[in-house]
Every structure is written in structure tokens, then in C-alpha cells.
Amino acid sequence: MKLKHLAGLSLLAPSVAFAAEKPNIVFFIVDDMGWVDSSVAYGEQVYPNNLHFHTPNMQRLASQGVMLTNAYACPVSTPTRTSLITGVNAAHSRITNWTSTMRDTPSDATGGAVAMAQTGVNTDISGAFERPEWNLNGMSPEEGVENTLYATPLPKLLKGAGYYTIHVGKAHWASAGTPGASPYNMGYLVNVAGTIAGMPRSYQSEDNYGNTPQLWNHLAVQNMTEYYGTGIHLTEALTREALKTLDFPIKQDIPFYLYFAHYATHTPIQRDNRFIQRYLDMGLDEGQARYASMVEGVDKSLGDLLDYLEAKGVADDTIIIFMTDNGGNAENKAKGGVRFMHNLPLRNGKGSVYEGGIRVPLMVKWSGKVAPDTRVNTPVICEDLFPTILGMAGIKSADVVQEVDGKSLVNLVTKGSQLAAKAARKGEIANQREANAFVVPKSVSGIDPERALVFHYPHQWKPYDLVDIDYLSAVRKGDWKLVYRMRTGALELYNLKEDIGEQNNVAAQNPAKVKELAAELSTRLREWNSPMPKLRATGKNIPLPDQL
């Protein structure tokens, strides 16, 4: 597939008749659900945290598809979502943090008047740094909107190719008062509940999902009036809405693209009454149990979707992509347990470029193409999904205004999974640990297992210091990962194969590798003109890793 950068040209979607031979595609994305936040074990073993969760439908999906065990997203929501919809790395799109509901309002804490006003805390605690200039209004499908990335969104291309494009749930690509605020401008034909909100004001129908005089703010969930006061949890309500939208394209035999973006399991951490008792009985504390009940709610939703597709006879014609938008939130006290331990063995969580913040669940089911119950371990990143989904849809070329960084994973998930299945049949893979070490060569997948993946968070997340989250940048290449601590200028090196928990900084022992990765990261950030914090004293950007 050849993607062209046509700067300055307006994109006209080609007029293409419905093509019934195209596979349906469901992108099922969960919010803030970490890598170990399910009973699906993406790791070399089942970790203790996996045992807190009961997610039979995620297991069902894993048994039907391929699991990508080294899949990455950005540390926070919007950058992942804009990378998915544009194919551009967050450091390149300059959308490196989440978008505020209101336009031109920085969400990063330092210099963030909003955060200060909301918390009453002086947010200027980083002292030395001013916040970077970044595309704080998010992504725009129209040109000329200040502080946005102008890009051609994925659903517009799918719609142009004859897909019936559906948005259900959380959008969060852009701030109010800009075109990116509306899924309809992104190429979606149907929208339920997609707005500027990055989280729901409430999951509870008793709260009208935040639409009460006491609770209302811009996070109140829209399009949900039929469920007010009905006792139906938001996750269930969105599921019913999603299934409703599929009725028409299935009856009319139109291929559909359903982007089903659950608000769960983002804060507020509120119990799903259908499932909580199991977790209380397990001895989890109230916060842990609430969170686990929310995860099971999402699992039920996935199961209902799979059941529906089977009942309608289209399960085999429908690709399912399951993913989450960043690592589990390990910082929020409402989740119970011990702070920053939620993602073990991974270090830290949401907001951080350590593995706990960026390594995410990713599974793909594709009947006849993806070998079931397999694992593929090549590192992949959220922007890869843009060309991947175009490839799945059979779109050979597309005119887009942005430079796409992602690589199609189609061969990786199809031929790669088939290779893994073959190896398992031949006895070359005996267990999960070996499966996680199995390499799909680039000659088969088209994806270099040694390509560099960049993560960049030049922000302060909260109006208080979080040293393993704020102002971090990282690059992963093969087994190696370099972390750049912008506050101190320190460069850390980890070997993820031996040390998935990033506990042993081996920079001192591997100066050449540090230099190589620092150059790699710097080259990207320089080329992309990525946002960097400024030194308050000088008003200038802080140094790149190769300038230290």
C-alpha cells in the first residue's frame, strides 16, 4: 500500500459503490485497561494481577485470534486515539497529551490555568520547566485550525471505500469549537455518544450518566437519554446502542466499520452491580473490586458483540480488533490496592513511558486469515493500526494529507500467526514462555522486529510531581529500551527481554547502545519537531538526548 503525502490538496473521498466482499471490521477499544487487567495473559506467564480478573470473553477472543504481546499505545488517551485515526506517531503529530474539553486550554499541569483553577494548587511545581507548545486542540479533518494536526481520518477513507462507518462511545480527538470534536466530521456516518469528553461524568443511569444539575459538566455523556434512571450501566447501554447500529448494514449487506470505544474502564471508578460481588468475595478491596467489575462489564460487552455477530451469521466475515488506549491507571487511589503496583510486573502505569503506561492488550480475530490461539511478539504501536485497517479493508492506495508513520500489520497478523501456529504444531513452541520468545522474521511479516518505536510525554501529568511519569521520553528497539528523563537529563537503558519490569538500568554497562538509541530518539524528535518543555530560565527547549 502506498500512502502519499499530498500537502495542501483537499481530499475528495472517491465515490465507490458498496462492496459486499469487503470484511466487516470492529475496532473494540477499552479505556485505561492495563496489560495485566484481564484473565488473558499477554506475558510469559500468568501474573498475580491477571488472577484478579474474570474475562471469559476476552479469553474466547484470544482463542479465536492472535495476541500481539508487544503492542504499544501512547501514555495517555488522545495521542493514542489520534494516532489510530491518522497513522501518525504522537511525537510527530505533536498531540502528546490529552485534549481538554474546551478549546485552547492546556491539559498539562505546568502553566495549566485550568488545572490550577480546578485544584486550587499552584501547578508550577516543576519549577524549571514551562510546558511545551503542542497541538493542544487535537486532530482536525479540516485545514487551518490552530493548534491541531490537520489529517485525513481513517473512517473517511473507509466510508469512501463503501464502508458503513459507525462510532459508538468515546471520541476524544479534539476540543470543543473545532471540527475534530464531532465524529461526523471524521467520516463516521453514525455517532452515538462521541464528544469532546475523555471520560464519562458517571457510568450510572441513576446519575443520568452525569446529566443532572448536581453533576453536569462537559463530561456528561450525550445521546443516552433513553437509559436515564433505568438501572443500566453505561457499558451495557453503549453495547445495546452498538448492536442496534449493526442491524442495518447487516440486513443490507453493506460492509461496516464499527469503532466501539468504551468509556470504561476510565475513572470514575464506579461499581458495575452486575459483577461486583465476585470480586468482593475474592477478598479484593472496594476499589479493586469496583475496577474489576468494570472490566468484567467490558468483557460482557465483548461477549454480547461476539454472540450477536454469530447469531447474525456474520462472525466469520467480521474482523475483530481488541485494544486498549494506554496502560492501566496506577496512580488513582480510587482503584484500591497499592498505588503503582497495579500493572506489575510492568513498571508504573498510565501517563508513563515505562511499560506499565504504554504496553497494551491487542488481539485480532480474522477467520480464515489469522491462525487462532496464537501469539505474535513483534513490537507494534498504535499508529500501525491506520494502515492495517486500510489493508484489511482492501484499500490499496489512499490519498491522505499527513505523513503516515505506522506500518501495516496485515502480514504480521495473518502470515505471522500462521507461522506461529505451524511452529506450535511442529513442537517448536511448547509453552507460553516459548511462544513469547518466538520471532516472526521481517521477510514474512514486513515488520522489522528491530524497528525503533518512539514514546514521548514532555508534560507534567498532574498538579503534583510524579517522577516516573512527568517529562519522559523513550524509544524501544528490539529488546532494548532507552528512557530519557527530561528533568534530570538522565538516560536509562533496559533490556526488556531480561527485565520486563525495567528495574535494572544497564546504561553504564552499555554505553554504545545508549548512544545508538539516544541518537535514534533524537533524530526522530528533531525531524518531527516534537514538542519539548522549555527551560523557564532561558525560554528555550531543553536538550535532546544526543545533545546532553
Residues at the interface with a second copy (CB under 8 A): 13, 15, 17-18, 101-103, 159, 162, 176-182, 184-185, 189-192, 195-196, 208, 211, 213, 216-218, 222-223, 225-230, 241, 244-245, 248, 251-252
CB of 210 to a second copy, least distance (A): 10
Q: Which neighbouring-strand residues pair with 456?
A: 473
Instruction: Please answer whether residues 434 and 296 qualify as being in contact, where contact means their C-beta atoms are separated by less than 8 angstroms.
Output: no
CB of 301 to a second copy, least distance (A): 18
Closest CB to a second copy among 241 and 272? 241
- State the amino acid at position 386 in one-letter form: F
**Residue 192: phi, psi to the nearest 5?**
-125, 115
Length of the chain: 548
Q: At what angle do helices 385-392 and 77-86 cross, to 10 degrees?
A: 40
Closest CB to a second copy among 213 and 283? 213
Closest CB to a second copy among 63 and 212? 212
Closest CB to a second copy among 81 and 407? 81
CB of 225 to a second copy, least distance (A): 4
CB of 250 to a second copy, least distance (A): 10
Closest CB to a second copy among 209 and 366? 209
Closest CB to a second copy among 135 and 374? 135
CB of 153 to a second copy, least distance (A): 14
Q: Rounded to whole angstroms, how far apart are CA atoms 375 and 464?
A: 39
Q: How far is CA 305 from CA 107, 369, 531, in A?
A: 34, 20, 40
**Residue 529 host element (H or E):** none
Instruction: Please answer whether residues 164 and 189 qualify as being in contact, where contact means their C-beta atoms are separated by less than 8 angstroms.
Output: yes
| Cell (9 digits) for 242 | 452498538
Cis? peptide before 265, omega within 30° of 0: yes
CB of 17 to a second copy, least distance (A): 7
Instruction: Please answer whether residues 442 and 449 qualify as being in contact, where contact means their C-beta atoms are separated by less than 8 angstroms.
Output: yes
Closest CB to a second copy among 253 and 450? 253
Picking from 358, 379, 376, 507, the residue whose alpha carbon sits closest to that of residue 451 is 379
CB of 140 to a second copy, least distance (A): 10
Closest CB to a second copy among 225 and 509? 225
CB of 191 to a second copy, least distance (A): 7
Closest CB to a second copy among 17 and 430? 17
Instruction: Please answer whether residues 76 and 30 qualify as being in contact, where contact means their C-beta atoms are separated by less than 8 angstroms.
Output: no
HEC secondary structure over 98-139: CCCCCCCCCCCCCCCHHHHHHHCCCCCCCCCEECCCCCCCEE
Closest CB to a second copy among 18 and 308? 18
The residues, any chain, with a CB within 8 Å of residue 443's CB and separated by 6 or more, are none
CB of 14 to a second copy, least distance (A): 9
CB of 163 to a second copy, least distance (A): 11
Q: Rounded to whole angstroms, how far apart are CA atoms 90 and 341?
A: 26
Instruction: Please answer whether residues 412 and 380 qualify as being in contact, where contact means their C-beta atoms are separated by less than 8 angstroms.
Output: yes
CB of 368 to a second copy, least distance (A): 26
Instruction: Please answer whether residues 327 and 35 qualify as being in contact, where contact means their C-beta atoms are separated by less than 8 angstroms.
Output: yes
CB of 195 to a second copy, least distance (A): 5
The residue written with cell numbers 505506522 in the block is 406
Closest CB to a second copy among 15 and 431? 15
Q: How far is CA 335 from CA 32, 248, 368, 443, in A?
A: 12, 39, 40, 44
The residues, any chain, with a CB within 8 Å of residue 123's CB and separated by 6 or more, are 109, 110, 111, 112, 115, 116, 460, 463
CB of 263 to a second copy, least distance (A): 16
Q: Rounded to whole angstroms, how far apart are CA atoms 391 and 22?
A: 11
Question: Which DSSP symbol is given to 333?
Answer: G
Closest CB to a second copy among 241 and 502? 241
Q: Rounded to whole angstroms, how far apart are CA atoms 86 and 400?
A: 9
Closest CB to a second copy among 145 and 392? 145
Burial class (CB in 10 A: 0-12, 13-18, 19+), 442: middle
Closest CB to a second copy among 393 and 419? 393
CB of 154 to a second copy, least distance (A): 16
The residues, any chain, with a CB within 8 Å of residue 394's CB and separated by 6 or more, are 19, 22, 161
Picking from 22, 85, 43, 56, the residue whose alpha carbon sits closest to that of residue 366 is 22
Please give the torsion angle defined by the CA atoms of residues 419, 420, 423 and 424, in that order, rounded to the nearest 10 degrees: -140
